[in-house]
Structure 1
Amino acid sequence: MIRRAALLSVALAGALALTACANTVRGVGRDVGNTVDATQGAVADVAR
């Protein structure tokens, strides 16, 4: 019974860690997208 509880705890902790990683990767993608947009805007301002 204790082994089963330990295994369940490890599985839940792993799932939580994977969820956190997915959110971080999604946030990085948004940051990169915003950086590209800002750079393109700056280039357009300089070209005018």
Structure 2
Amino acid sequence: MARKIIIALGVAAITFTATACNTVKGVGRDIESVGQAGDDAI
């Protein structure tokens, strides 16, 4: 249950950060930071 919530939050965060980015490089950094935050939470 908790894993599904974390995954859903991660997907939502990626969606919001991807819409805020103007470059592919920025999207890569945002995805990396969301992944790192997920690893830290686990």
Give TM-score scaled by structure 1 length. 0.44
Bigger share in helix: 1
Give TM-score scaled by structure 2 length. 0.49
Bigger RCO of structures 1 and 2 (CA < 8 A, at least 6 apart):
2
Say which one has the larger Rg: 1
